[in-house]
A = this chain, B = another copy of it.
Amino acid sequence: MKEHAITMLGTGLIGEFYTATLHGRRGRDRVRVVYSRTDERGRAFAARWGIPEHTTDLEAAIRHPATDTVIVGLPNHLHEEAVRLAAQAGKAVLCTKPLGRNAGEARRMLEAVEKAGVFAGYLEDLCYTPKTLKALGMVQAGAIGDVTWVRSRETHPGPHSAWFWDGRLTGGGAIVDLGCHCVEIIRNFVGKGNRPLEVLCHTDTLVHPIDDEDNAIALIRFESGAVGQFEVSWTFRGGMDLRDEVAGTEGTIWLNHFLRTGFEVFTTGGSGGYVAEKAETERGWLFPVGDEVSELGYVDMFADMFEAMDAGRAPRETFYDGYVVNAIMDAAYRSAKSGRWEPVELEWRGGTTPRITRRQETYEGMVVIKRETLPDGRQKLILKDPASGSFVDRVVAG
């Protein structure tokens, strides 16, 4: 198994999470060079994580001869240049979410890596949470039949860093920040070959004194008839609400990634000046997660990326996926303005997906609408007379 030497671009929260994951738990891949816009932050980060070199020169960091992989953990408006430089350097490049500020940027990044023929991975961690991976396996094994609806929700009280609030740098508000996760979670559950056709979206700025949306809800209609629904908010109170719900013709899946995971704590504040981390409150009932980098998918994400790299296969999440996500978000922004369904405009590489199959059963010439088993074992049928259009009940042997 190869050991990869990494150039890490960015020393913010995401750089911390990425490096904590890579350097944690006896992994074999290590950050060799870190780039930060300020020397002070780069130095502190390198010291904290035992990284041999740090620099404020982006190009030098990317071209550093000792590294084979570049991880882009920079603000959104800097992704394109970083990816372009990494592609030129002929290195593998892993880029954080969202890929671009819009589909145009994402498309150029996709073209850059494809033209250069370098390995490229889209760091969409929430599609790699252990729960999500297992749930996807169950869906693919047929456990819930055809997927009809996916709700993905990500809400919290608003970002921690200033640049997230500046739509010029990010490409938008809560949709670009949080919705990108939801969109790709939804695509995974409905099937990546299931073409997103159109989007209906409502946005508003209800609480924060900003111009971009702090709340949004959108519906994505897929070719099969399945609907994806995302809810994002920067005004949620109570922590970070990260939930997915999947409905299928034969089952249901509910995932809760953060606030209700079987870990519940009540504290009066404690005897020793205890201060809770990361919750909105320091006292009362708190709901921590066990191992955040694992629960949020970082561990499995990097394992997939490097294994794919070594095996010469594509990772689960590619730059093409990142581009599709941007295209869907673009349609959402258009819909929020127009107040109607807007088509998703993208170069589609998937195939076609048939419509979800409707029940087709008849009983003595009538259409069977529903079967219910009664306590005595008999069955109650609800039947429709195709001629008159009338409905009747009928109880038959079980």
Which residues of A does B touch, CB under 8 Å? 1, 24-29, 129-131, 133-135, 138, 141-146, 148-149, 151, 155, 157-163, 165-166, 168, 200, 202, 204-210, 215, 217, 219, 221, 225, 227, 229, 231, 233, 235-239, 241, 247-257, 260-277, 280-281, 283-291, 294-295, 299-300, 302-303, 306-307, 338-341, 356, 358-360, 367-370, 372, 375, 380, 382-384, 389-393
Contact = CB atoms under 8 A, between A and B. Distances in A.
Nearest to A27: B26
Nearest to A260: B262
Given A27-B27, A206-B358, A291-B130, A247 B235 contact: yes
Given A146-B271, A235-B249, A260-B262, 8 more contacts: A25-B27, A134-B263, A143-B274, A159-B382, A166-B389, A237-B251, A284-B284, A291-B294
A290 B341 contact: no
Given A202-B221, A207-B359, A290 B134 contact: yes
A190 to B, nearest CB: 12
A77 to B, nearest CB: 13
A161 B391 CA distance: 9
A273 to B, nearest CB: 7
Give the oligomeric copy count.
4
A356 to B, nearest CB: 5
A81 to B, nearest CB: 20
Given A131-B263, A266-B251, A141 B391 contact: no
Contacts of A260: 262
Given A271-B142, A359-B207, A266 B252 contact: yes
Nearest to A241: B252
27 contacts: A25-B303, A26-B307, A131-B290, A133-B291, A134-B288, A142-B272, A142-B273, A142-B274, A145-B271, A157-B370, A158-B382, A161-B382, A162-B391, A168-B389, A205-B358, A207-B249, A207-B356, A209-B358, A209-B368, A250-B270, A252-B266, A253-B266, A255-B262, A262-B262, A281-B284, A339-B341, A340-B341
Interface-centre pick from A233, A270, A283, A359 (highest chain B CB count, 10 A): A270
A383 B166 CA distance: 11
A209 B367 contact: yes
